[in-house]
Amino acid sequence: DGGITQSPKYLFRKEGQNVTLSCEQNLNHDAMYWYRQDPGQGLRLIYYSQIVNDFQKGDIAEGYSVSREKKESFPLTVTSAQKNPTAFYLCASSGTVIMSYTFGSGTRLTVV
Amino acid sequence: DQQVKQNSPSLSVQEGRISILNCDYTNSMFDYFLWYKKYPAEGPTFLISISSIKDKNEDGRFTVFLNKSAKHLSLHIVPSQPGDSAVYFCAANFGNEKLTFGTGTRLTIIP
């Protein structure tokens, strides 16, 4: 079954530490995206990549970094520079023709 | 600049009645619109979409209406069921650009 997998589902981080969230897809999709959802807020775009070895900043990229070395993988690193990292993070992918996104099940990051 | 707006953060509807979720957009270039449904602690799932060449698209209990002149679309769910309780996101794009999402409306179906 094709799909998009995020891991881990829950993640705890100490203040000052970097942490990397995994996102893998086997849908053969070219484009991948990272969103953040906070309570009572919508989906805010962090980074996106339309092709391997290329990515662009979204609306709230500060304090985050990404890489796209393989078509299937788009990991997100939450750095210590991100002031409010506690949130629900969603990864998505889409085909060449962006008719719809397929989302992963999300990772809830909590800073302790 | 919020190009896709969902002005009602929440909506409560009696089970069996019609739920109407609204979405407004400002970018006249948008030519494709989608609705996603999201349960807590899960990723959004695609529900229904509509192209700008149409004004209505129906899929079972779900119907999306598009009013291009008013830059407004709505999602109708009838009859509403308890499993419809979720957050609904409206999204739009044009050409091959990335989707722009609204802020979501939390729908609660009252038994």
Q: Over the stretch B24-34, which tens digit does the pLDDT of each residue have?
A: 999 999 999 99
DSSP string, A12-64: EE-TT--EEEEEEE-S--SEEEEEEE-TT--EEEEEEEEETTEEEE-TT-TTE
DSSP structure class, residue B41 = T
Q: Quickly state the pLDDT bin for A1 (edges 50, 70, 90).
A: low
The per-residue pLDDT of chain B, averaged, comes to 95
Does residue A31 belong to the interface with chain B, where contact is any CB pair within 8 Å? yes
Q: State how far residue B5 is from chain A, nearest Cα, in angstroms.
A: 10
pLDDT digits (tens, 9 = 90+) for B48-61: 999 999 999 999 99
Task: Report d(CA B15, CA B7) in Å as an integer.
Answer: 23
pLDDT digits (tens, 9 = 90+) for A33-67: 999 998 777 899 999 999 999 999 999 999 999 99
Task: Report d(CA A64, CA A81) in Å as an integer.
Answer: 8
- Gyration radius of chain A's alpha carbons: 13
Q: What does the pLDDT read at residue A100?
A: 84
Which residues of chain B neighbour A41 with C-beta distances below 8 Å? Answer: 103
- Gyration radius of chain B's alpha carbons: 13
Q: Quickly state the pLDDT bin for A98 (edges 50, 70, 90).
A: low
Say if the Cβ atoms of A99 and B41 lie within 8 Å. Answer: no
Does residue A100 belong to the interface with chain B, where contact is any CB pair within 8 Å? yes
Task: Report d(CA B53, CA B68) in Å as an integer.
Answer: 9
Q: What does the pLDDT read at residue B16?
A: 98
Q: Which residue of B has its CA nearest to A5?
A: B43
Mean pLDDT computed over B62-74: 97
Does residue B45 belong to the interface with chain A, where contact is any CB pair within 8 Å? yes
Q: What does the pLDDT read at residue A40?
A: 72
Say if the Cβ atoms of B103 and A48 lie within 8 Å. Answer: no
- Comparing CB atoms, the residue among B43, B98, B102 nearest residue A98 is B98
Beta-bridge partners for B100: B92
